[in-house]
Structure 1
Amino acid sequence: MSQSIDDFATLLRSAKRSAVHLELRDVYDIGNETEGFRAWREGHRLDPEDQENWWRPWLDLVQEVTNQGVLMRRGRVVSEPPSEYIRYEHSFTFTNVTAGEAVRWLPRRDACDLLLPGNDFWLFDDRLVQFNIFDGDGRWTATEQTEEPGVVSACSAAFEAVWQRAVPHLKYHI
């Protein structure tokens, strides 16, 4: 199933209580090297005071949803030392936090005894899981959704296990 950004925004806006995201990869779409990633490689860093030039429209959507009372949390399981992409991602995660999303980082070595799904996912209101499927180079290829109670429960438990062990963004240093 393919999904447009607008379709995902509608799905996120449908959340009433919570939207959690578990990220398990060390590389996302480096093959296409976004403009932001290229600029970061050349030394550019986002200015905390220049919010107009942050990742829009995503952060506007985060603010909209969190301002409506939805708890947004993102857990990232990462290898250490981190990949170049994770260092890049870490450099601008303060923007997610400023927009209202709570973000934590879990070193992969601290997740050895956790049972985690094979794919990144979003979980909305503990009722709907959307898996994001990537190829080996980190390119997004598809989504799969389910409301099957066993899968929802397993994903919720996996996320909460990561969240309990993970380090809040402001305390996780690369």
Structure 2
Amino acid sequence: MQPLRSISELPFRCRPALELLNLEQHRDAPDLESTQFGFCQVSALWLDGRADRAPVRVTDALVLAVHAADEPEALSDDVELEFFVEEVAKDYSVTVLLSAFLDRWLPAALSGERAIVLAMCNPHAARIRQPKAAGRTPVHYALGDVDSWLDTDSDGRWHIRLEAEAWRIAEHA
């Protein structure tokens, strides 16, 4: 099998939220080694910015789970992503800028959600610009590392929480 030649060939697909965010089993600490990527729709989740304010509840969201490269170039308005591709013959990784990735994949994933959440580490705290395909739908992104948690409230119901130093909304050009 030939290595990927374009962003369009990435196996970026819809997955169940708990699988995608590595929440299928109990963990006491973040799992920073997960290399899964894809997207999911969730009815609600919480964005917890440790350095900012109280957690924010986001409803009817499209969650895009992608990963910043291990040693990304420091860009002020973009993030270098790395995708780990597993194939029968060999495993390898490819890199692409977040802006180019969103231009290609966001239109295919959108289906009328009220919010978009990038479950993505942003090690250099890049200020993300609003993707054209998102229109006026707010795009939430983190500053620093992102950890996913499955919390249970006092009624025994669970909810997804994404934790980072801070959360921001992409800026319109």
- Please indicate, yes or no, whether the TM-score normalized by the shorter chain is above 0.5: no
- Which structure has greater strand proportion? 2
Higher relative contact order (CA 8 A, sep 6+): 1
> Going by fraction, where is helix more abundant, 1 or 2?
1
Bin the TM-score by the shorter chain: 0.3 to 0.5
TM-score (norm 2): 0.35
